[in-house]
Amino acid sequence: MIISGKWTAAATVAALLTFGFGATSNAAAPTTTSATPATSNTAPEQYHLRMHHLHTGEDIDVVYRIGDTYIPGALAQLNHFLRDHRTQDSSSYDPKEFDVLHALMTSLGRPNGIIDIVCGYRTPWSNNFLRTRSASTGVAEHSQHMLAKAIDIRVPGVSTVALRDAALALHAGGVGFYPVSQFVHVDVGPVRTWSYR
């Protein structure tokens, strides 16, 4: 169940049961071996993102992964949220991009902080539109945005320089620094870095 863009505890439990956690093929209790403890007090880690889209005005607050398992319904929500706001087209984001955002917010000491989205997915049409607005736009012809592997972000209360430095420290993909526009590009393409103006 999703309420106001949020996964409730009931939805998380339902997702776990739907995607195999705790489900058994019959009524018999699950078996354990001597190598596996019968009980564990450690619940799988929940990966949580809170974002605000600067162009659509929409907000999302979602648990998209539990332990090593991505939640398909949550990924679908994120894909829609990060759609091309010019064309309304969406794509299937590489879930590793969400892991980068989660790791970034954790490293900044803001695991429950809000990420402002400057740009998510871009269709080839939108990418070309942005590239041709002026002689020098800083928009790559073969942008990772078109592959649903990049997001341009700000974090309220965190300087663009501090955000860039935290992203670079992850060594997780491309990091672009846009100090004039005050955002940082993070992607899960090859590890590289650049600055624009």
pLDDT tens, the chain, 197 aa long? 333 444 444 444 444 444 444 333 333 333 334 444 455 678 999 999 999 999 999 999 999 999 999 999 999 999 999 999 999 999 999 999 999 999 999 999 999 999 999 999 999 998 888 777 765 666 777 788 989 999 999 999 999 999 999 999 999 999 999 999 999 999 999 999 999 87
- What 8-state DSSP symbol labels residue 104? H
Q: Distance between CA atoms of 78 and 94, rounded to whole angstroms?
A: 11
Q: How far, in Å, CA of 19 to CA of 33, rounded? A: 23
Task: Classify 109 as helix, strand or coil.
Answer: coil
What contacts 87, CB < 8 A, 6 or more positions away? Answer: 123, 125, 126
Sign of CA dihedral 139, 141, 147, 149: negative
Q: pTM for the complete prediction?
A: 0.76
Q: Which CATH architecture has domain 2-19+43-195?
A: 2-Layer Sandwich (3.30)
